[in-house]
Amino acid sequence: MSKDDDKIPGKIDFSKFRVSISSSDLPIAEKVLLYVPARKPTKQTFVRVHPEKQYHYDAALLKLESEEKPYLVSQSVVNVIAQDVKIVVLHLSIDRQGNIFLWPVPPIPKEGNENTWNQSQRQIAEMAKTQWVRLSSNTSIGCYEGYPAKGEIPDPTWPSLSLDEILNIAFGSSHIIDTLDHPALLKLWGAD
């Protein structure tokens, strides 16, 4: 192609756009994790749970009805507002699109009175440590049902962050309650 061809209207030199197909030549970028919700997986989402215990965190969460995001509550505050918090195990989880979230799964009760919803949710979270699984509620029998993926889905790529770093992204300073004068507690008590 001559330089005169470049000047012809509508004539494009596509050789300038050819790239090497070798993946080793491409720059590698890692997604920056900016948001980590604490929530159950949606009913049509296949998920995995991180199999390592270091990515499971016993926690107390306060969920205000007027807000979407829950609060992480310190042990000293839990003792004051025990009736309003939910004790859970936060499991680092991931969906097929690589979206990270913390799945709050109820722990085994110490009192022995087991709830079938909580028990089935724990069983499905355990399944998700080794396979892709979907969680769906079955109200007619009163529990969650797990649906393992039928196809071969590759294992997930987990973020290279510690659990503390992930918790900081998930809750930050605004959604951690460690004093009794926290705005969320004042709202809960009608003192705001």
Mean of the pLDDT values across residues 92-109? Answer: 97
Least confident span in 12-26, 32-46, 120-134: 12-26
Mean of the pLDDT values across residues 155-174? Answer: 96
* Rounded Cα–Cα distance for residues 41 and 47 (Å): 7
Model confidence at 76, pLDDT cuts 50, 70, 90, reads: very high
Query: What pTM was estimated for this model as a whole?
Result: 0.83
φ, ψ of residue 177 to 5 degrees: the values are -105, 110
Whether residue 157 contacts residue 98, with contact meaning beta carbons closer than 8 Å, is answered with: yes
- pLDDT score recorded for residue 17: 80
Average per-residue pLDDT for the chain:
91
Looking at residue 9, its amino acid is P
Mean of the pLDDT values across residues 72-94? Answer: 96
How confident is the model over 42-57, as pLDDT tens digits? 999 999 999 999 999 9
The residues that bridge with 56 in the sheet, in sequence order, are 91
Angle at 104 between CA 59 and CA 70, to 5 degrees: 75
- pLDDT score recorded for residue 10: 76
Model confidence at 27, pLDDT cuts 50, 70, 90, reads: low
